[in-house]
Chains A and B, each alone.
Chain A
Amino acid sequence: MISLKQDRSKFPVRGDDGQLIIDRESGQFSELFLGPVHPGMTGNMSLEMLIQGDEIMKAKTHVGYLHRGFEKLMERRRFIQCFPICVRIAVPEPDFNEYLLAATIEELAGIEVPDAAQWMRTLLLEMSRLQSYLAWIGGQGSSFGLGLIGQWTIWARDLVLDRFEEITGGRIYHMHMPPGGVRSLLPDGFRGRMRETLDTIEQVMKDVDKALFQNSVYKTRSIGLGYIDPSMVDRWGITGPNARGAGVARDVRKDYPYLKYPELDFEVAVGKDSDAYTRADVRRRDLLTTVDLIRQILERIPDSGEFMAKVPNVLHWKIPRGETYKRAECTRGEYGYYTVTDGSGYPRRINVRGPSYTHAVTLLEKMIVNVNLADAAGLMSSLHTYPPEIER
């Protein structure tokens, strides 16, 4: 009988100096690219792998397929013009970019954001988290061959996008948080429709729980896959569910509270086994926390009132000289904007700290060693990475 738990500890074979012993002439090794065009990839990046049999010995992450350079582009754009650009840095979860850019400009320019706008921003960020997790669960399922999960969750995500469309007029890129506030408050009847959507999502998540989290195939393949040692968390710059799965209760919403989070009641989901399954479970619980948070926000968000602070003429808005780091908790972890301004109408430098950079490059390259080729896509998905964040 084939054992599901093979002893892989002797692979890859290493010499006394700890280096891999790879005899390319032996015929045992082959090099294989996963991506950039592969349904298992989480976006436009690729893994150049050295495999022995069906086991990965070594891998190198390749990025550069997007050719965008948003950080540089923003240095050539006026501050208001960065607002439509920055959202594209994280396609599946763009709102954090607009929030961080706005928060940066507001801090440096000394602008007080109205209360109603802060509630709206909190709502939009949580809705964004919700749809991002829903899309991710679909990806996680399908990377282990369970395509049905995605059919359910992507539909549920579409319902969230419908709600986004109602508020902002856009489905993917919402561009609703210009510096100073938000472009509108809630439309009429929104609360009821949002609550219905949340009920549906909870129902979908119950089905997902049965079909994915209680699925022997998924469990077999994901439990024990991609173990992150808690001691690595700080050294490797691991944040978000990847850190929380390792038992490190780290969440920017709690550690460095922003917007209206201090006024909301929630607990951070933490796991302890630190493998792909645990991380998925942390994300599932985080998703349900988000559903609860949105319900809380809907109770308290004002229907009227000022939603935009008075801003100088955005066409030639000069931000005083300064620098700041603004951060927020996105679905992948800590998302940050480190910005330097020089008193001109253009940002001197904006550095985007996307969590995917550490997760998909250094961490993935380490963790993928010894993994079965068939699990590579699942492992990558379990780290929840977005290549545009790496190549911003």
Chain B
Amino acid sequence: MSFKDVLMPFTAWKYVVEKPVTVRNPKEVEGAPRYRGFHDNDVTACIGCGTCEDVCQNGAIDLIPVKDIETKDGDSGLRPTIDYGRCCWCALCVDVCTTQSLSLTNYFRWVSTDADDFRFVPGVDEKPWKGIEQGYRKLDGYDLYATERIPMEELPPSQRENSFVEMVKGFSREQAIKEADRCVACGICTATCPAHMGIPAYIEAVRNDDMEQGLRVLYETNPLPEICGRICTHKCETVCSLNHKGDPLSIRWLKRYIADQVPSDRYKEILGTDKIQRNGKKVAVIGGGPGGLSAAHYLSLMGYAVTIYEALSAPGGMTRYGIPEYRLPYDQIDKDIDYISSLGVEFIFNTRVGTDVQLEELHTAYDAVFAASGLHLGRSTRIPGSDHKRVYQAIELLRDVADGKEIDVAEKVVVIGGGNVAMDITRTIARLQNQKYGKVDVLATCLEGADIMPADDEEVEEAREEKAVIDPGWGPQSIEITDGEIKGLHVSKCLSVFDAEGRFNPSFDMDQKKFFAADMVIESIGQGMDFSYAKEIQDQIEMAPRGKIKTDSHGQSSLPWLFVGGDIAEGPDVIHAIANGHAAARGIDDFLQRDDE
């Protein structure tokens, strides 16, 4: 220590006249452009998936209903409220947000004497920082979960275009686990699925490689997992929250993966259905399609003796007779149905109710009747020439293919229709043409433009891969017939399909015309129901608009013993049928138990 050490500290006096640097007026300070301040939320983009709530380790986020936001498909109607007594500003909620609607602003000064003010719904409650652009946003370049789906392997067009072998190969174990890992388990899918399947739960089972648990979850709400795992219209995927940031989860293929992994001889053991206590009551089911099978399955588990009356020679309804084998192989349909049959459900084939047996007889012989006879009548365009013998209904042709009958397929075919059934028949015809002529010449046209075509995008794309021509946006006007032979279809440009009130009322530009040459025309513009077997009770039963039967939420008609479901009630699609079959089973059980009391 020296004398210098005594003097040296006095050098600090050189700052005595300078403005103190430690005093800074907070009002001059603005948060950095990426500051993590108060939350903001674009509530119109937010879908209330709750992933922010899930990741928040402080429990600072809660999803609550807010004014003016309705619950709908793909939107829970809830929005995050944030408790700033708990928030630690880590911004993980922003990083995991599936819609990227949540953000943190660079606003951080806010004084209020009311502690409750510090719990609010960002983006809804009016706050000074609402809409501020600066603040923390998740950057591109990383994600805390994979946003791209695992591609599903399919047979290449060269291998599938003349064969009915199943084209989708299914996931391997690694692929399935990886795909299942992407799920954020928000449950938006469950709300939208007509059957309200426990989707996050069975996807978790895939992640855990626990197929038995997966199967149990599937069968809670859906007794046709092999079928649904292949051809479900997957509304769940349309609303999947991951769809906002990347690809939706392959929910359908994961369902198929579970069902594919479990051999059918283990179903009873896994599902605990070895022994079912019978209650001595009997239920008749009209139609062996998904609706009837679903009701029969759940009724059988409840102890009812169920008999299914099927007009055709095999069960499955539209899944067997409406969907080509390359999408849904018959052995997979059989796997699902054989299990239902093993629960004691009895099938009577080639027996049409109304012809071979009367509805009244069923009423007498059984405690309740569930009618799920499906939509098996094709609709005609009724344009000039549509009554020609070479104008076919898609649904009839598909049925003949399924029955193994030979189809007299022409060299040039035009299909009228833009739905999935139209794509099914187009692709079936393409295969048959390939087998018969070694080339494809089939064209599908429909009223709807490419952007609003009802068929799934992948169906359209795959049809094109198989060399079918899809030319949407044209309205059929007439079928040209010369010397008794079909020459082709005249069409005009379709300007709009629906009128201002949203009713089906197509308008055409008659100056824009086209001619599609063809030797054979197939109509695929929807199906209708054949309810003639109920004619004897038609005057006793209450009807709903559009020729449907009025029912309650459990499918019970105004005649208490008659329940209605399947495509004739809702849909048409397989998952609606499964859902209303299940609902009807509960309704029938409720009705018959109440009968006891």
The reply to whether chain A is a binding partner of chain B is: yes
Residues of A163-209 contacting chain B, CB below 8 A: 165-170, 173, 175, 178, 180-181, 183-184, 187, 207
Residue contact A173 to B51, C-beta cutoff 8 Å = no
Residues of A within 8 A of B184 (CB): 313, 315
Cβ proximity bits B491-527 to A, threshold 8 Å, 1 near / 0 not: 0000000000000000000000000000000000000
Closest to A188 in B: B33
- Report which of B54, B139, B141, B181 forms a contact with A312, defined as CB distance below 8 A: B181
Distance in angstroms between the alpha carbons of A225 and B314 in the assembled complex: 96
Q: Determine the distance from Cα of A151 to Cα of B139 in the docked complex, in whole angstroms.
A: 37
- Whether A308 lies near B142 (C-beta < 8 A) is yes
- Stretch from A80-88, A129-137, A354-362 at the B interface: A80-88
Cβ A210 vs Cβ B9 within 8 A: yes
Whether B36 contacts A215 by the Cβ 8 Å rule is no
Instruction: Tell me if A216 and B6 are in contact (CB < 8 A).
Output: yes
> Contact check: which of B34, B88, B183 meets A187 at CB < 8 Å?
B34
Which of B8, B141, B181, B185 contacts A210 (CB under 8 A)?
Answer: B8
Query: A214's closest neighbor in chain B, by CB?
Result: B8
Give the A-B pair count, Cβ closer than 8 A: 121
- In the complex, per-residue mask of B174-207: 1 if CB is within 8 Å of any chain A CB, else 0: 0000000111110000000000000000001001
Instruction: Verify if B12 is at the interface (C-beta below 8 Å from A).
Output: yes
The bracket for how many chain A residues form the interface is: 35 or more
Q: Are A84 and B144 in contact (CB under 8 A)?
A: no
Q: Does any Cβ of A come within 8 Å of B168's Cβ? A: no
User: Is A220 interfacial (CB 8 A cutoff)?
Assistant: yes
B144 — nearest CB in chain A belongs to which residue? Answer: A314
Question: Is B437 engaged at the interface, CB distance under 8 Å to the other chain?
Answer: no
Please determine whether B51 and A180 come into contact, CB atoms closer than 8 angstroms. Answer: no
> Is B312 in the interface zone, CB < 8 Å from A?
no
Q: A83-B92, A311-B144 are in contact. Are A166 and B32 (CB under 8 A)?
A: yes
B1 at the interface (CB under 8 A from A): yes
Q: Mark A300-321, 1 if CB is under 8 A from B, else 0.
A: 0000001110111111100000
Complex contact B139–A315 (CB within 8 A): no
Cβ–Cβ contact A219 & B207, under 8 A:
no
Q: How far is the CB of A283 from chain B (nearest CB, A)?
A: 19
Q: For this complex, into which size category does the number of interface residues on chain B fall?
A: 35 or more
- A37 at interface, CB cutoff 8 A: no
Main secondary structure of the interface of A (DSSP, over half): helix
* List of B residues within 8 angstroms of A217 by Cβ: 9
Q: Is the CB of B145 within 8 A of A314?
A: yes
Query: Assuming A210-B8, A306-B141, is B34 touching A316 (CB within 8 A)?
Result: no
Closest residue of chain A to B2, judged by CB?
A: A216
Neighbouring B residues of A180 by C-beta, 8 Å: 142
- Say yes or no for A125: interface residue by CB 8 A criterion: no
A214/B4 in contact, CB under 8 A: yes
Find the B residue at minimum CB distance from A154.
B22
The reply to whether the CB of A155 lies closer than 8 angstroms to some CB of chain B is yes
Q: Mark B1-44, 1 if CB is under 8 A from A, else 0.
A: 10011101101100000001110000000011111100000000
Q: Is the CB of B57 within 8 A of A207?
A: no
- Bound together, the chains give a CA A72 to CA B12 distance in angstroms of 48
Is B91 part of the binding interface, using a Cβ–Cβ cutoff of 8 Å? yes
**B90 contacts A by Cβ under 8 Å:** yes
Complex contacts, A207 vs chain B, CB 8 Å: 11-12
| B156 CB, min distance to chain A CBs, angstroms | 28
**Across the two chains, which residue of chain A brings its CB closest to B104?**
A169
Q: Chain B residues near A219: list those with CB within 8 A.
A: 1, 5
Q: How far is the CB of A114 from chain B (nearest CB, A)?
A: 10
Given A169-B34, A169-B35, is A215 in contact with B9 using a C-beta cutoff of 8 Å? yes
CB of B333 within 8 Å of the partner chain:
no
Tell me the minimal C-beta distance from A227 to chain B in angstroms.
18
Q: Are B5 and A84 in contact (CB under 8 A)?
A: no
Q: Are A216 and B22 in contact (CB under 8 A)?
A: no
Leading 8 A-B pairs by shortest Cβ distance: A308-B142, A84-B90, A81-B57, A313-B145, A169-B36, A216-B5, A214-B8, A169-B34
20 CB < 8 A contacts A-B: A77-B57, A81-B57, A83-B90, A162-B32, A169-B32, A169-B36, A169-B91, A169-B136, A173-B90, A175-B91, A180-B142, A210-B11, A211-B12, A214-B8, A216-B1, A217-B9, A307-B142, A315-B51, A315-B54, A315-B145
